[in-house]
Copies of this chain bind each other. A is one copy, B any other.
């Protein structure tokens, strides 16, 4: 039930008043996210979360609110992380094909990571469970889905402007296909389809979207 031995004494924080926390909120949230990603909301108990985070239930409650709030915060954290790794890829200038390859490689790294096996995409997992019954969560999922669509759309628009794609190419349609490929490998990864096979799917999809590599 102990998370760390020595607090890194965050230099910026002025001076906390009462008993010092025995956990770091960030790493605790990360552990919670890990659990939720693999097991989902309903199948994850507060005891599970307590054990994984190293915080007992009242502390968990105090820090993050109830189970649902913790789930939401975990999901937000996931989105931030995912967005960060995507933005990095979008910043640099490179050919479409290469950009797509990098995006999918990053996605696969996220989806296949996990000590107990691959866990897929948390947006997809959440869509498949809580999204139907919880309007607030559903709104977040929708946002996550459309964010990806938009990123791909801008990617294809840029490519078209640079002449990498024929005039007939429809960036919006290509973007939704690119997103669909992401959703598909997310699903398949949870069924333990091998990385090799997933990479094959990605390659085939890219070939159809931007033309077979010369």
A residues near B (Cβ < 8 Å) are 38-43, 117-120, 124-125, 127-129, 131-133, 138, 141-142, 145, 168, 170, 172-174, 176-177, 179-181, 183-184, 187-188, 190-193, 201, 204-205, 207-209, 212
State the CA gap A97–B191 with chains docked (Å): 30
Which DSSP category, helix, strand, loop or mixed, fits chain A's interface?
A: helix
State the CA gap A128–B130 with chains docked (Å): 11
State the CA gap A131–B208 with chains docked (Å): 29
Q: How far is the CB of A139 from chain B (nearest CB, A)?
A: 9
State the CA gap A174–B181 with chains docked (Å): 11
Pair B42/A190 contact, Cβ less than 8 Å:
no
State the CA gap A184–B129 with chains docked (Å): 15
Pair B190/A205 contact, Cβ less than 8 Å:
no
Task: Check A132/B207 contact, CB under 8 A, given A127-B187, A180-B177.
Answer: no
State the CA gap A142–B191 with chains docked (Å): 6
Q: How far is the CB of A92 from chain B (nearest CB, A)?
A: 26
- Return 30 A-B CB contacts under 8 Å, by A number: A40-B40, A41-B43, A42-B43, A120-B127, A120-B128, A120-B132, A124-B187, A125-B128, A127-B188, A127-B191, A131-B190, A132-B190, A142-B193, A145-B187, A145-B188, A145-B191, A170-B204, A172-B204, A173-B204, A173-B207, A176-B184, A177-B180, A177-B181, A180-B181, A180-B184, A180-B205, A183-B183, A183-B187, A187-B187, A208-B208
Residue from B42, B176, B180 in contact with A42 in the complex, judged by beta carbons closer than 8 Å:
B42
Pair B43/A129 contact, Cβ less than 8 Å:
yes
Task: Check A176/B192 contact, CB under 8 A, given A42-B43, A120-B128, A129-B128.
Answer: no
Measured between beta carbons, the chain B residues less than 8 angstroms from A42 are 40, 42-43
